[in-house]
Amino acid sequence: MKRIGVLTSGGDSPGMNAAIRAVVRKAIYHDIEVYGIYYGYAGLISGNIQKLEVGSVGDIIHRGGTMLYTARCEEFRTEEGQLKGVEQLKKFGIEGLVVIGGDGSFQGAKKLTEHGFPTVGVPGTIDNDISGTDFTIGFDTALNTVIDAIDKIRDTATSHERTYVIEVMGRDAGDIALWSGLADGAETILIPEEKYDIDDVLKRLKRGHDRGKTHSIIVVAEGAASGVEIGKIIDERAGLETRVTVLGHIQRGGSPTASDRVLASRLGAYAVELLLDGEAGKMVGVQKNELVSHSFDDALKFEHKLDINMYNLSKELSI
Ligand code: F6P
């Protein structure tokens, strides 16, 4: 293999730049040329492709976002779009591809593999919702952004003696809510993986209030419920003055944490190793701190499982 490509796709996540850097530098270290594909699969279809040099990825390891830009591309869901992509790769003499993104991006990577194009996936999403890896690139940074926000909200919650509902991202996964809620001592955490009973939530709040607790923090995963709706119910039914904060896209930006930079560097370099070893059709990941790889078929077949023991622990600690 003499020339590979790299693209980022789907929602950006902090650490994607560090992963691009690792792919480019690892490949060049092995005398392989690297081409950057801009705007994800959309750029692959349209041929928005340029050669990257060692210097192209200088000064980006600490930056959020992705220097290759990203997009969600409907056309690439069609066979016609996928074949156009393969054609462009061949036109540029690219023999292998690294796709950095979440499970939607891996669906596209799997399709490329099925069309006979060697592709390796690197998990980059703040949601931490990919099976086959303990952590995805960007999760740790998003988590720290959420914690910083909740700490600030806690100051005003204490001063005003109010209840705060904080809605966090995660799509269908509760990892951001669970980890941030546990790290911030939230009274209640609502996640899509566990059914909740609003009466229980109100009961817990009331119990705390009767015990002399003057403020509360409730973290809601966007996949579990609407923070605004939960806030309305608490305000009306528990009679507690409640405010709602939807953290939104602030969670996707910012300089990646050390942990995300290291993870991205390890996974990006490992993806290149797999391509060079002829082991495409796989995603890379980290499990128990070891680098691992799984076929796209396996990775996409199994649902990501959140650690339910952590959820139970959060309940025990927030009595
Ligand atoms: O997958 C990352 C993510 O930020 C999710 O947490 C969220 O549900 C979604 O993307 C938002 O997507 P968009 O930026 O397209 O609105």
pLDDT of amino acid 276: 97
Q: Which residue, 193, 247, 190, is CA-closest to 220?
A: 190
Predicted local distance difference test score (pLDDT) of residue 302: 87
Query: How far apart, in whole angstroms, are the C-alpha atoms of residue 8 and residue 264?
Result: 13
Residue 307 three-state SS = coil
pTM more than 0.95: yes
In this predicted structure, the answer to whether residue 232 has a pLDDT above a threshold of 90 is yes
Dump pLDDT digits (tens) for 202-211.
999 998 888 8
Give the per-residue pLDDT at 247. Answer: 98
Distance CA 227, CA 139 (A): 21
**Catalytic position from the list 12, 59, 103, 127:** 127
Q: What confidence score (pLDDT) does residue 155 get?
A: 95
Mean of pLDDT values over 54-60: 98
> Which is the closest atom of ligand 1 to the Cα of 222?
8
Which DSSP category does 246 fall into? E
pLDDT at position 319, please? 79
Give the residue whose CA is nearest to atom 2 of ligand 1: 11
- Nearest Cα residue to 93 out of 196, 227, 2: 2
68 neighbors 12 (Cβ within 8 angstroms): no
Q: Given a cut of 90, is residue 113 above it in pLDDT?
A: yes
Q: What percent of the chain has a predicted confidence (pLDDT) above 70?
A: 100
Give the tens place of pLDDT for each residue, 178-206: 999 999 999 999 999 999 999 999 999 99
| Selection from 60, 54, 70 nearest residue 19 by Cα | 60
Residue among 127, 222, 304 whose CB has most ligand 1 atoms within 8 A, to mutate: 127
Find the 152 Cα to ligand 1 centroid distance in Å.
Answer: 23
Mean pLDDT, to the nearest integer, of 210-216? 90
Cα 186 to Cα 125: distance, rounded to the nearest angstrom: 24
Q: Percent of the chain, pLDDT > 90?
A: 95
How confident is the model over 165-174, as pLDDT tens digits? 999 999 999 9
Does the C-beta of 102 come closer than 6 Å to ligand 1?
Answer: yes
Domains and CATH numbers, the chain: 3-138+256-301 (3.40.50.450), 140-253 (3.40.50.460)
Q: What is the pLDDT of residue 318?
A: 87
For 202, phi then psi, to 5°, come to: -65, -40
- Asked if 76 and 44 touch (Cβ cutoff 8 Å), the reply is yes
Q: Annotate 225-238 with b (16+ C-beta within 10 A) or e (fewer).
A: bebeebbeebbeeb
127 is catalytic: yes
Instruction: Identify the weakest region by mean pLDDT among 35-39, 152-156, 213-217.
Output: 213-217
Band of pLDDT at residue 300, cut at 50, 70 and 90? very high
Quick: pLDDT tens for 20-40. 999 999 999 999 999 999 999
**Mean pLDDT of the region 40-54:** 98
Nearest CA residue ID for atom 3, ligand 1: 11
Contacts of 45 (CB under 8 A, 6+ apart): 73, 75, 76, 81, 84, 85, 88
Q: Residue 17: its pLDDT value, please?
A: 98
CA–centroid distance, 237 to ligand 1, in Å, is 31
Ligand 1 atom 1: the closest Cα is on which residue? 11
Which pLDDT band holds residue 101 (cuts at 50, 70, 90)? very high
HSE-up (13 A, CA, CB side) for residue 170? 31
pLDDT bracket for residue 292 (50, 70, 90): very high
